[in-house]
Amino acid sequence: MQYCSHCQVRIRGNKKDCPLCGNILPGDNGACGQQEIYPVVPPFYERHLALRIMIFVSVVALVVSFMVYALFPSTINWPVFALFGLISMWLSLIIVIKKRHHITKNIMWQVTILSFLSVVWDWGTGWRGWSLDFVVPILFVSAMFVLYVTAKIMKLRARDYITYFLLDGLLGIIPVIFLLFDWIHVLYPSVISVAISIIFLSAILIFQGENIKAELAKRMHI
């Protein structure tokens, strides 16, 4: 068995890190060749028909878009937009599948990816500023409410979501940069995002301070 010196527990199976604290386990520690506790089951999505259909539809849509563009040329390169749209969809879907067991982490990944993609889309279509004016601040604020509601509905323990609450609260303050450097034309989404984030972070620090300390101590091995 492997041994985690931080949690002081022995761990069965071939693990690279401790399932309790995430600490990297030293060497094979005699675990080489040890049989896993549970049988290895291939992920459901590797054989799911719906996924194969989506792949097929994506290929067809891309081929048709290039074919139509070749037959009816336009000043706007629509196939590139179709390609980028498909890449965005699949990137988001992959994160949903990979992080499906951790809802709060999944939400944070989606917010980060969608924010980045919206900026890229805005830039690729001539930069009108709608991504910073509306999309990014609204995504940050929406994620705070979704995280809170999700935690309540799923009755998660504070340590399961506190890190992501903090991260989202800090992300929500980022629009203050848009305001300071005058990057936006519409002020109220960014102002609301910053204000709600500060209130959100204040509530977390005041009411969940002990849980934050415990979580930091666990993750930093203090």
For 194, other C-beta atoms within 10 Å of its C-beta total 21
Instruction: Please report the pLDDT score of residue 94 as a whole number.
Output: 77
Least Cα distance to 100 among 43, 151, 143, 46 occurs for 43
User: For the chain, how long is the longest CA-to-CA vector?
Assistant: 68
Evaluate if residue 66 carries a pLDDT over 80: yes
- pLDDT-derived band at 36 (thresholds 50, 70, 90) equals low
Facing residues of 10 across strands?
3
Say which residues have a Cβ less than 8 Å from residue 164's Cβ, sequence separation at least 6: 104, 105, 107, 108, 147
Q: Which one is predicted more confidently, 157 or 28? A: 157
Question: What are 79-110's pLDDT values in tens digits?
Answer: 877 887 788 778 777 777 776 667 777 788 88
How far CA 149 is from CA of 104, 162, 205, in Å, comes to 11, 13, 19
- Residue whose pair of structure tokens reads 């303050």 in the numeric block: 173
Axis-axis angle for helices 49-71, 78-98 (nearest 10):
170
Question: What are 122-160's pLDDT values in tens digits?
Answer: 887 788 898 999 999 998 888 888 888 777 777 777 767
